[in-house]
Amino acid sequence: MSEKADLEGLYAATAEAAGLLGIACSREKMSPVLTAFQDLITDPVVFNIVTSKGRVGDLSFDFMTPPGAGDPRARALAHGLVDETDHPIRSLFTEIQERFPLQSFGVDYGVTRGFNKAYAFFPLGELQSLADLAAVPSMPRALSDQMGAFADHGLGDKVSAVAVDYARRSWNVYFNGLSPQHVGPAAVTSMLREFGLPEPSEQFLEFAGTSAALYPTFGWDSSKVERLCFSTRTTDPAALPARIEPKLGMFAAHAPYAYDGDRVLVYAGAVSPAEEYYKLASYHRMAAVTHDRVRTAA
């Protein structure tokens, strides 16, 4: 993408994507984020939706920013997209950047909710260790408390990203470069049991077995795994989650995209204490393979 993003084109594509789901997308809501980050937005640009029991949540518009621009929360704060806080959540990404190589930062912006989430992505050729990340001063204690459990499942040195949801005060650690030993039925069932999550359905196990990435969600002040999510990349709009949640399939088949070839999709399935549900990310613009957070590491 050019040094200054095509704001009109991005808004039009977001409005088109939202219209497929019956979600209102106003210039008033979108202009602040597009204006704030217009000189930083880099590919890929991705649309994300979540479905639960046939209901569609908010549509979000995701994009990358270069690591040299620093923590995107600072830019969001300067433009009134988030509120100031003295919570450790404000310093985590700065401390990560001081200690680790970064491929990029990322922003998740909800069409109705606003600035949701930010990501710090490590190069897929330089996946990081849980032990090193746990030593970051502002890192929530859940990482060190659960480090042994994740290491026992072969994930101790496969961290590809960390994300923070500022509104919900929750966070994720992403594991990439997974092999069948990490996502087979026995491994997935064992992991869910260890974290106190419900037994998965056969459908979920079938989907999880195709995954190349997984990520738990934690609250900031608890070591409990709130949910566990598995992701897989495909160009098939009728993949398993679309058959379970038809609205995902509809969006997967029609979401706007601006590159040659088939539309690139990332399906994700999550298990929480209350339910199993599915998500979809549809790439609107593509980038180099190094930015694809669900590919196997080189």
Alpha-carbon distance of 88 to 220, in angstroms, equals 9
Q: Which of 128, 120, 130 is nearest to 153 (CA)?
A: 130
Average pLDDT over residues 196-202: 97
Residue 190 has a pLDDT of 97
Residue 249 has a pLDDT of 95
Evaluate whether 138 touches 188 at the Cβ level (below 8 Å).
no
More confident residue, 130 or 91: 130
More confident residue, 288 or 238: 238
With the CA atoms of 52, 53, 56 and 60 taken in that order, what torsion angle do they form, in degrees rounded to the nearest 10?
10
b or e along 168-204 (b: 16 or more beta carbons within 10 Å of the residue's beta carbon)?
eebbbbbbbbbeeebbeeebbeebbeebebeebeeeb
Residue appearing with tokens 């960390």: 162
Please say if the pLDDT value at position 292 is more than 60. no
Per residue in 250-277, pLDDT (tens digit) is 999 999 999 999 999 999 999 999 999 9
Strand partners, 170: 165, 219
More confident residue, 2 or 224: 224
The single-letter DSSP state of residue 286 is -
Evaluate whether 294 touches 176 at the Cβ level (below 8 Å).
yes
Per residue in 153-195, pLDDT (tens digit) is 999 999 999 999 988 889 999 999 899 999 999 999 999 999 9
Query: Could you tell me the residue ranges of all domains in the chain?
Result: 7-291
Evaluate whether 120 touches 174 at the Cβ level (below 8 Å).
no
Strand partners, 65: 105
Tokens of 99: 């200690």
Residue 297 has a pLDDT of 38
Report the Cα 240 to chain-centroid distance in Å: 20
Residue 251 has a pLDDT of 97
| Beta-sheet strands, E only, within 178-262 | 213-219, 225-234
Residue 293 has a pLDDT of 52
SS3 content of the chain, % helix, strand, coil (to 5): 35, 30, 40
Residue 289 has a pLDDT of 52
Q: What are phi and psi of 256, to 5 degrees?
A: -65, 140
Average pLDDT over residues 92-116: 95
Confidence of residue 3 (pLDDT cuts 50, 70, 90): low
pTM of the entire predicted model:
0.94
Confidence of residue 87 (pLDDT cuts 50, 70, 90): confident
Per residue in 56-75, pLDDT (tens digit) is 988 999 999 999 999 999 99
Average pLDDT over residues 117-140: 95
Evaluate whether 218 touches 225 at the Cβ level (below 8 Å).
yes
Per residue in 30-55, pLDDT (tens digit) is 999 999 999 999 889 999 999 988 89
CA distances from 107 to 73, 86, 139, 179 (A): 9, 21, 19, 28
Q: Which of 276, 241, 281, 239 is nearest to 257 (CA)?
A: 281
More confident residue, 240 or 5: 240
Alpha-carbon distance of 12 to 218, in angstroms, equals 34
